[in-house]
Amino acid sequence: DIEINEGDRIRTGTDGRMELLLQDGSKLSIGNNTEMEITRFLIDKDKRSGTIFLIKGKLRAIVAKFSGRTDMKVKTPTAVAGIKGTDFIVMNEGKANVLFGQEGAVAVKGKDKETVALLPNTMTENTQGHMPITPVKVEPNTPLADARKQLEAVTDVDASVEWQATGNLPIILARWNINYGHYLVDSGKYKEALEVFQIAADLTDVPEMGAESRIQRGSVFSRNLSLYPEALKEYQLILDKYPQLPQAENALFSIGIIYKDMGDREKAKSYLQKYLKQYPQGKHIYTVETLINELDKEEEKQ
């Protein structure tokens, strides 16, 4: 056993875990690849306050009930969770946070003062600059349930863990976000879909996840919201960062279409011709050839 004081930082390795017991009976279970700081912890007979800063990684906080006034928080670089008499798990990955409610209610907020209530058997998440999404129920036998189960194991010092599988957690959650984003788009919740696709992009550096989340954001901006400049940024980012991935073909085609819809014939033709050159057997080839012919005819009329 070691004693931890205010201001101390704790780091765990690739297969390391740690359990901290606080003076009030609360328990902090720290997962692998985690860095955390006990920024502040004060307790007397009628008041308890504390701030736990999760710099990165995975943490389960089981906070003991307390009869006096409580001001306890778990912070990450991009979110704050207010806790009292609760049990929840939080994973911070880059700019993104994923939180699972186990027991009690947790008030979670991002950059704004507005909070969402994380209840048992639900999940919320956010990324930099965004408030947490409306909590989602964790249904049995779903990717969310599997992710929660892995997080429960990795934050339990006595549980057996497949470390390679836990390394895939960000990818599993990113895929879930992309699928959930499709559901939100189909439900007409475009702003929420954009946030969820952004969380997918921020959860992992895996190129396929980044490219897919960007192509989906571009689609929402262009098709559903007619916000063409924002869509162009997403598609151009794909061309710059992921030029070899399949999504680059759709991005190049979409940029040409957007410029045509905006009435910029010169840029539309330029991007459509780039498409012809780069993807001579591409899936949009016939549409592109037709559009270029239309643009040529429009030029001849002038």
DSSP type of residue 140? T
Determine, yes or no, domain membership for 285.
Answer: yes
Determine, yes or no, domain membership for 13.
Answer: yes
CA dist 105 and 122 (Å) reads 10
Determine, yes or no, domain membership for 149.
Answer: no
Q: What is the pLDDT of residues 89-106, one digit of tens each?
A: 999 999 999 999 999 999
CATH number at residue 284: 1.25.40.10
CATH number at residue 26: 2.60.120.1440
pLDDT of residue 7: 84
CA dist 254 and 215 (Å) reads 10
**Of residues 51, 54, 76, 78, the one with CA closest to residue 63:** 51
Number of domains making up the chain:
2
Residues 236 and 115 in one domain: no
Q: Which of 98, 128, 143 is the last residue of a domain?
A: 143
Alpha helix (H) residue ranges in 204-246? 207-219, 228-241
Alpha helix (H) residue ranges in 136-204? 143-154, 163-167, 169-186, 190-203
Q: What is the pTM of this model?
A: 0.92
- Three-state secondary structure call for residue 234: helix
Residues 137 and 261 in one domain: no
Would you put residue 20 in left (φ > 0), alpha (ψ -120 to 50) or beta?
beta
pLDDT of residue 1: 66
pLDDT along the chain (302 residues), means of 10: 81 94 89 94 84 96 86 92 89 96 93 89 96 96 95 94 86 97 98 98 97 98 98 98 98 98 96 97 96 90 74
Q: Which of 81, 109, 143 is the last residue of a domain?
A: 143
pLDDT of residue 49: 86
Residue 179 sits in which domain range? 168-302
CA dist 217 and 171 (Å) reads 18
Residues 120 and 176 in one domain: no
Residues 117 and 186 in one domain: no
